[in-house]
Amino acid sequence: MYSKTSEVKKRMQKIRMMSYFIEATQKIIEEQGFENVTIRKVSDIAGYNSATIYNYFENLEHLVFFASMKYLREYSRNLSSYTKGARNSLEKYLNIWSAFCRYSFERPQVFYTIFFDKFSCSLPDIVEQYYEIFSEELGEHKDSTLLMLQKKNIYARNKAILEDCVAEGYIRADDIDAINEMSMLIYQSLLSRVVDGQASYNADEASSKTLEYLKRILISYQVDEKVTRAFEN
C-alpha cells in the first residue's frame, strides 16, 4: 500500500512540475514568439533552476513540442464546425484541410514542429501525456480529439480520410498512396517555405494555394469525372 501511494505521489509531482514548464513555454510563445523560447527564460518564469527542466524533458525541442499541443487543441475543438455541413466524403476531406490550413498557417512554426520535426513520430505518446497533465483541456471533445491524433503521423491521418473518398467512388484505392504523398508534400513544402521566410504568403493566401493544389490532385486521379462534377455542384 505504501509503495503504491508513493508511486502515485511521484507521478503527481512529475505532472505538476511538467505543467509549470509547459505553461511557462506557452507564455513565452504567446508574448514573445516561438523563436524566443529559451531554457533560461522558461526556468525564470517557472521559478526553477534550468537544470531541473532536464529531469522532465529531453531538451528544449522536447519541451516546445509539449507546449505546442495547446494550438492543436484549438484546431481539433473547432474542426466539427467545418465538417458538419459536408454533403459527401470529398467535401468533408477538403473542409478538414481548410480548417487545418487555417490554423497551421496562422502558427506555421508550431504546426511544423508538431508534424515534421524531431518528435513528430512520438505524437500519440506525447498527446496522451499532455492530456494527462492538462485533462481539463479536452472537455467535451475528448473522444474526437484523441481519435484524430491516434494515428502515428500526419500521412496516416490523411490517408484515413482519403479512404472515405475511395468508398464513395471518387478515387481508386490503387491511387490513394500517390494522392496522399503528393498532398502531404505540397502542404509540407508550403509550410516549410513560410517558416523559413522563403514565401511571404499570409495565412489566407497559403491556405488558398494549398487547397487549390489539393483539388487539382484529386481531379487528376478522379473516377469518371466524379470529382469535377462534385466541385461544380
Determine, yes or no, domain membership for 62: no
Least confident of 85-99, 153-167, 219-233: 153-167
Q: Is residue 2 part of a domain?
A: yes
CATH code: domain of residue 13: 1.10.10.60
Is 80:116 a contact under the CB 8 Å cutoff? no
Residue entry with cell 504568403: 201
The DSSP output letter for 117 is S
CATH number of the domain encompassing residue 204: 1.10.357
When pLDDT is cut at 50, 70 and 90, the band that residue 139 belongs to is low
| pTM score over 0.85 | no
Q: Are residues 48 and 72 in the same domain?
A: no
Residues 6+ apart with CB under 8 A from 159: 176, 177, 180
**Structural domain contains residue 63:** no
Q: Which domain holds residue 115?
A: 68-232
| C-beta neighbour count of 7 within 10 angstroms | 10
Shared-domain flag, residues 94 and 198: yes
Which of 12, 33, 57 finishes a domain?
Answer: 57
Predicted confidence band of residue 137 (pLDDT cuts 50, 70, 90):
low
Considering the domain architecture, whether residues 52 and 73 belong to the same structural domain is answered as no
Q: Number of folded domains in the chain?
A: 2
Which position has the grid cell 511538467?
18
Residues 207, 113, single domain; the answer is: yes
Pair (222, 166) in one structural domain: yes
* Residue 152 confidence (pLDDT) above 80: no
Average pLDDT of span 101-125 = 86
- Who contacts 190 (Cβ-Cβ below 8 Å, separation ≥6)? 199, 201, 206, 209, 210
136 with 201, same domain: the answer is yes
Same domain, 73 and 95: yes
Note the pLDDT tens digit of each residue in 44-73: 999 999 999 999 999 999 999 999 888 877
Q: Which three cell numbers stand for residue 95?
A: 473542409
Shared-domain flag, residues 47 and 74: no
* Per-chain mean pLDDT for the chain: 87
Say yes or no: 101 and 216 in one domain: yes
